[in-house]
Structure 1
Amino acid sequence: MAVGRYQKWLEPENLLLLQGWKRDGLSDEQIAQKIGIAPRTLENWKKQHVQIMQCLKVGKEQANFIIENELFKKAKSGNVTAMIFYLKNNWRSKYNDSQLSPDELKLAEAKSRKTNAEADIAEYKAKVLEESGSSGVELLNEYLDKLDALSDKEVKQDGAKADV
């Protein structure tokens, strides 16, 4: 196990190395491999040692800004592909490949929100079922019994069977 090895990586020259690897585009998994530790260990180090987390974050941000600046320079120099890419990603409301009208786009976004909400509800229901210790079949049977009782009650009151 890599207990105690983190101290070496808190030294300024090694923090700079971590930052450089991140700036070069290495993933956390690849960085962990270079260090000789498990990716989970690196995750723990990031949580426990703010210096490690910060240098990896800064390294990624620097890489993003470097690439963004290069893309911007290319777009300014007339590289059409760079121009298109830049506009599509930085001015999405105006430059996108969608063939939808603004109203259709709003509808699609609303449907997406509805689908996400339904998924959240289903996840919550599954959590409640799990926490209650009841199986879905037991709860369904309980619900159906209540519906049958309600239906029988309506039959007695109306004298005719009600639609359920």
Structure 2
Amino acid sequence: MAKGKYAEWITEEGLIKIEGWARDGLTDEQIALNMGIGYSTLQTWKKKYQDIQDSLKKGKEVVDRQVENAMLKTALGFHYQEEMVTQEGEVVEVTKYNKPNTTAQIFWLKNRKANEWRDKQEVEQTNKNIDITLGDYDDTD
């Protein structure tokens, strides 16, 4: 029975489920479990059936973009609406501000502009004929 099981997943409905699970952030291992197959079987099917590979990729791209957008929004700061209850019991909408997140800014810059922002900087030595001798150094003068 397992031999023909792939057939239900290469249908339009099956591919939509796979894409949705990927979009929801499930790992390939979790998706395989939802499909009732082993992780290695899913890996084989991804190589054998392009539609399965495409559905996983399409679903993951959507959620990756959402996370990227959320991180950028957090890094820059943003205004948002929130409902609050007044002392009189009225529900009012209030505009609040979420200030920029320094950690998100650092993460973004280290990944997007690594040459300028990474912790370890590569320094090229241009003069290789420097003679450093410590000898009889006396700093008491």
TM range (shorter): 0.5 to 0.7
Aligned to 1:76: 76
What pairs up with 1:1-164 in 2 under 5 angstroms? 2-77=2-77, 78-98=100-120, 100-103=121-124
Distance in 1, Cα, partners of 2:17 & 2:116: 41
Distance in 2, Cα, partners of 1:50 & 1:101: 42
Distance in 2, Cα, partners of 1:23 & 1:102: 42
Residue aligned with 1:103, SS: coil
The one-letter code sitting in structure 1 at the alignment partner of 2:41 is T
Distance in 1, Cα, partners of 2:12 & 2:123: 52
Shift, 1:101, TM fit: 4.4
Residue aligned with 1:47, SS: helix
Aligned to 1:134: none
Shift, 1:24, TM fit: 2.2
Shift, 1:23, TM fit: 2.0
RMSD: 1.7
Q: Deviations over 1:78-129 (max 9, x none)?
A: 222211111111000111112x44227xxxxxxxxxxxxxxxxxxxxxxxxx
Segments of 5+ residues of structure 1 without an aligned counterpart are 105-164
- Give the number of the structure whose residues are more often strand, by fraction: 2
Distance in 2, Cα, partners of 1:83 & 1:44: 39
TM-score scaled by structure 1? 0.57
Distance in 2, Cα, partners of 1:70 & 1:64: 10
Q: Deviations over 1:113-164 (max 9, x none)?
A: xxxxxxxxxxxxxxxxxxxxxxxxxxxxxxxxxxxxxxxxxxxxxxxxxxxx
Shift, 1:13, TM fit: 2.4
The one-letter code sitting in structure 2 at the alignment partner of 1:65 is R
Segments of 5+ residues of structure 2 without an aligned counterpart are 78-99, 126-141
Which 4+ stretches in 1 moved above 3 angstroms? Answer: none
Higher relative contact order (CA 8 A, sep 6+): 2
- Give the number of the structure whose residues are more often helix, by fraction: 1
Distance in 1, Cα, partners of 2:110 & 2:53: 31
TM-score scaled by structure 2? 0.66
Cα 1:101/1:5, change in 2 over 3 Å:
closer
Identity among equivalent pairs (%): 43
